[in-house]
């Protein structure tokens, strides 16, 4: 693997892990209400699995396996943004914190969509 690609992969591993950490911090700071626990539990599951999907993609056995794992991460990111948007509407006072997480999720989505398109285009070009 080229050094630039290795560096980018390591940066994404760190970035997706940091995203999970921020999701965990959010969940830990929510009030102990039933609504908080239900919505928070959903965002915890989907938000913390993004990094796991990405790590799996880094160890994919084929292009198709790589694409499948990245697309799994994309599904989790999309679901995470949904739960974050609901939390933002319920907890208006946390709007800024939640908006930052939504923004990061959207940036990760854009990156993974681009990666998927590039890999798919490379598969077609062969």
pLDDT at 125 over 70: no
What is the spatial distance between Cα 113 and Cα 21, in angstroms, rounded to a whole number? 23
* 22's tokens: 């921020």
Q: Count the domains in the chain.
A: 1
Got the DSSP string for 87-108? HHHH-GGGHHHHHHHHHHHHHH
Residue % of the chain over a pLDDT of 90 = 89
Q: Is pLDDT at 126 greater than 50 in this prediction? A: no
Supply the pTM of this predicted model: 0.92
For Cα atoms 114, 58, 27, give the angle at the middle one, nearest 5 degrees. Answer: 80
Position 86 pLDDT exceeds 90: yes
The residue-averaged pLDDT of 44-68 equals: 96
Distance separating alpha carbons of residues 70 and 64, to the nearest angstrom: 10
Q: Give the burial string for 11-36 (b: 16+ CB within 10 Å, else e).
A: ebeebbbebbeebeebbeebeeeeeb
CATH code (residue 107)? 1.20.1440.60
Domain ranges, residue 104: 3-125
Contact 23, 48 (CB under 8 A): yes
């Amino acid at each position: 693997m080229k050094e630039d690609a290795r560096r980018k992969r390591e940066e994404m591993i760190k970035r997706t892990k940091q995203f999970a950490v921020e999701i965990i911090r959010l969940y830990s700071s929510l009030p102990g209400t039933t609504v908080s626990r239900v919505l928070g539990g959903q965002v915890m599951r989907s938000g913390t699995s993004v990094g796991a999907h990405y790590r799996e993609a880094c160890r994919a056995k084929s292009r198709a396996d790589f694409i499948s794992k990245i697309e799994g991460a994309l599904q989790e990111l999309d679901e995470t943004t949904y739960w974050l948007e609901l939390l933002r509407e319920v907890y208006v006072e946390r709007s800024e914190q939640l908006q930052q997480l939504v923004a990061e999720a959207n940036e990760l989505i854009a990156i993974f969509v681009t990666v998927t398109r590039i890999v798919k285009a490379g598969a077609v070009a062969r």
